[in-house]
Amino acid sequence: MTTSTLAALNVYPVKSFAGAGTARAVVEPWGLSGDRRWMAAGPDGAPLTQRGHPRLALAAAEPLPGGGLRLSAPGMPPLTVEVPDPASGTEVFEVWRTKVEAVPASGEAHGWLTEYLGTDARLVHMDAPEHRRPVTSSHGRPGETVNLADSFPVLLTTVSSLDALNLLIEQGDHPDEGPLPMDRFRPNVVVEGTAPWSEDAWRRIRIGEVSFRVAKPCGRCVVTTTDQATAERGKEPLRTLARHRRSGDRLLFGQLLVPENTGTLHTGDPLEVLD
């Protein structure tokens, strides 16, 4: 019998910036440690993401000791950003129709982002995820919290489902765009050794020492059509998902998870379906 295991782990220090693979990640109630505690925000307080600014895919943020970042992007000098002091004051921002308090970073960081994106932008930090943002989705439960992700703490995808999707893309209208790499879907955890689309039936799983509630399937957007290495956009996978993975007005790939306990994940950890 094939053993299902954790194939890859990814952390996104700044929402919509490039991700970073890691062999080990601490799981906190609101997501992987260091994942999406920062984001770019416009003057109206809404996040600036790859939906409207695909060049964010080319920006990277290297985590530093103490929680700071070293920012880099094409044509820009590297910039070290310290964690802002909450005593300097929080402001209200909006993430996926929820109000979130966060702390603006330095003016130097704002200038760097504004120059790179060509629009007024600020870098902000979520200082206290344990109480800053409850999960407000209808699939959330009392007491659940989330970082600056769209809606839930952790996104899971499977290698077998991507393989199945790429086969469908090969048979569709834009075969030249495939096969797509997994980074198009920006998952936190990637599992291998499962049957294609078997994750649709999962309700609870355990990976290594951490158990998760499977909250809902992930509805996909235009970000998945963005080449994460070039920031160029195509038609896939949304054309193929619309034909084969539609549920109402949502196009589905991957599952959104809520940790049931804290612990540490390592690539190679076994996956167990609990329910």
Q: What is the mean pLDDT of residues 140-158?
A: 95
d(CA 216, CA 140): 9
Q: State which amino acid sits at residue 201.
A: A
Question: pLDDT confidence of 1, banded at 50, 70, 90?
Answer: low
Please state whether beta strands 60-63 and 154-158 pair in parallel, antiparallel, or not at all (unpaired): unpaired
d(CA 256, CA 260): 13
Question: pLDDT confidence of 144, banded at 50, 70, 90?
Answer: very high
Among 34, 32, 76, smallest CA distance to 55 is for 76
Which position has the higher pLDDT, 97 or 163? 163
pLDDT at 149 over 90: yes
If you write DSSP's letter for every residue of 5-17 in order, what string do you get?
EEEEEEE-SBTTS
In degrees, rounded to 5, the angle at the alpha carbon of residue 35 between the alpha carbons of residues 31 and 38 is 125
Token pair, residue 272, equals 């167990």
d(CA 223, CA 231): 10
pLDDT at 211 over 80: yes
| Angstrom distances, CA of residue 46 to CA of 95, 97, 150, 272 | 7, 9, 12, 38
Residue 260: other Cβ atoms inside 10 A? 16
pLDDT at 47 over 70: yes
d(CA 119, CA 156): 32
Q: What pLDDT is recorded for position 129?
A: 86
If you write DSSP's letter for every residue of 147-182 in order, what string do you get?
-SSSSSSEEEEEHHHHHHHHHHHHTSS-GGG-SPPG
CB-count exposure of residue 144 (10 Å: 0-12, 13-18, 19+): buried
Q: What is the mean pLDDT of residues 124-130?
A: 92
Q: What pLDDT is recorded for position 136?
A: 86
Q: What is the mean pLDDT of residues 182-198?
A: 98
Q: What pLDDT is recorded for position 97?
A: 85
SS3 251: strand
Contact between 209 and 31 (Cβ < 8 Å): no
Token pair, residue 267, equals 């690539």
If you write DSSP's letter for every residue of 23-75 in order, what string do you get?
SEEEEETTEETTSS-EEEE-TTS-B--TTT-GGGGG-EEEE-TTS-EEEEETT
